[in-house]
Amino acid sequence: MRLDELKERLLAALPKGSVLSGEPLRLHTTFRIGGPADLYIRPGDEKELAGAVRVCREAGMPYFILGNGSNVLASDLGYRGAVIEIGRALGEIRVEGERIFAGAGASLAAIAKEALSASLDGLAFAAGIPGTLGGACVMNAGAYDGEMKDVLESVRLLLPDGTLCSMSPEELHFGYRATDIGALGAIVTGAVFKLKPGDAGKIRARMEELREKRQARQPLDVPSAGSTFKRPKGDYAGRLIEASGLRGYAVGEAMVSAKHCGFVVNRGKASSSDVAAVIAHVRKTVLDDSGILLEPEVRFLGEFAEVGICPSPET
């Protein structure tokens, strides 16, 4: 099916203005990097999301689910497929007793703020994670000894056949920065948190403590995708990278952060090729020095043939 025909089918299923052609992905990633997507879709609810996915699947069009783009490196060449944004339209947050019901497009910061307002303890660790609930569930996001699996009761999923269901973290085998959600071909549409009553003052103090730690240790003033690499067993990516003498290593405008070696940052006008080259060099150097192959935490969207990686993250 031609691209214009697919767009017409999507426009028939979705409201006007929700389907864009050639949208620059640099506008939708925290790296501020990325070329145009063939199609960029903004569904307004679960029904529209299911409709967009159905049309793409029937047409054989690759698609990629995007939250706020905080863990994504998009190719300079863009994406030959449809990027489906799960954003504020799917960002409802509702507190009921000790549970919080949230849509996949809600930010973790907003959910943590609602928990604080309701004096519910358990989400302080998530307040500074720059992502949305959907991506956080897929990756079992965590920080400062807290993980999503510790506070989630269930995850609501859109399955490949178009049905909706809810599954527990145990059923989805939540592990370190990994779950079975991708393997199922499922899309997160929301989740339920089960928290504990707490003291609002103590929760606020803990959130402030973690905020200050992040500001002191992480390069929050420049574009990045957060932690670039997963933590290797028994060690830290940042320590291994520094031990290999790579603090400040740069290709073009992409650089290993001098503030925290676990972050690759965009100093201004870095290309995806610059970032990918830094990542490839860091992995090779650390492997040569320590025997440990660092696994990227960032997801690659599009083609990166210049460093020998052409990942296919689409559902």
- Written as one string, the DSSP assignment of 93-158 is EEEETTEEEEETTSBHHHHHHHHHHTTEES-GGGTT--SBHHHHHHHT-EETTEEGGGTEEEEEEE
Per-chain mean pLDDT for the chain = 93
pLDDT at 12 over 70: yes
Residue 177, pLDDT score? 87
| Span 111-132, average pLDDT | 95
Residue 312, pLDDT score? 37
pLDDT at 206 over 90: yes
All residues at 6 or more sequence positions from 168 whose CB lies less than 8 Å from its CB, including other chains? 152, 153, 154, 155
pLDDT at 313 over 50: no
Name which of 124, 130, 126, 134 is nearest 102 in CA terms: 134
What residues act catalytically?
177, 227, 297
Q: Which amino acid is at 249?
A: Y
Residue 4, pLDDT score? 83
Residue 310, pLDDT score? 42
Q: Where are the domains of the chain?
A: 3-85, 91-198, 237-307
Question: What are the pLDDT digits (tens) for 267-297?
Answer: 999 999 999 999 999 999 999 999 999 999 9
pLDDT at 15 over 80: yes
pLDDT at 20 over 80: yes
Rounded to two decimals, the pTM is 0.90
Question: What are the pLDDT digits (tens) for 157-186?
Answer: 999 999 999 999 999 999 988 899 999 999
Of the pLDDT bands very low, low, confident and very high (cuts 50, 70, 90), residue 17 is confident
Residue 303, pLDDT score? 87
- CA–CA distance, 229 with 272 (Å, rounded to integer): 16
Of the pLDDT bands very low, low, confident and very high (cuts 50, 70, 90), residue 13 is confident
Q: Evaluate whether the domain defined by 237-307 bears CATH number 3.30.70.20.
A: no
Question: What are the pLDDT digits (tens) for 294-311?
Answer: 999 999 999 886 445 544
Question: What are the pLDDT digits (tens) for 238-258?
Answer: 999 999 999 999 999 999 999
Residue 305, pLDDT score? 61
Residue 311, pLDDT score? 41
Which one of 3.90.1150.10, 3.30.43.10, 3.30.70.1350, 3.40.50.1820 gives the CATH number of domain 3-85?
3.30.43.10
| Span 199-209, average pLDDT | 97
The lowest-confidence range among 4-8, 158-162, 174-178, 208-212 is 4-8
CATH T-level fold of 91-198:
3.30.465
Question: What are the pLDDT digits (tens) for 52-84?
Answer: 999 999 999 999 999 999 999 999 999 999 999
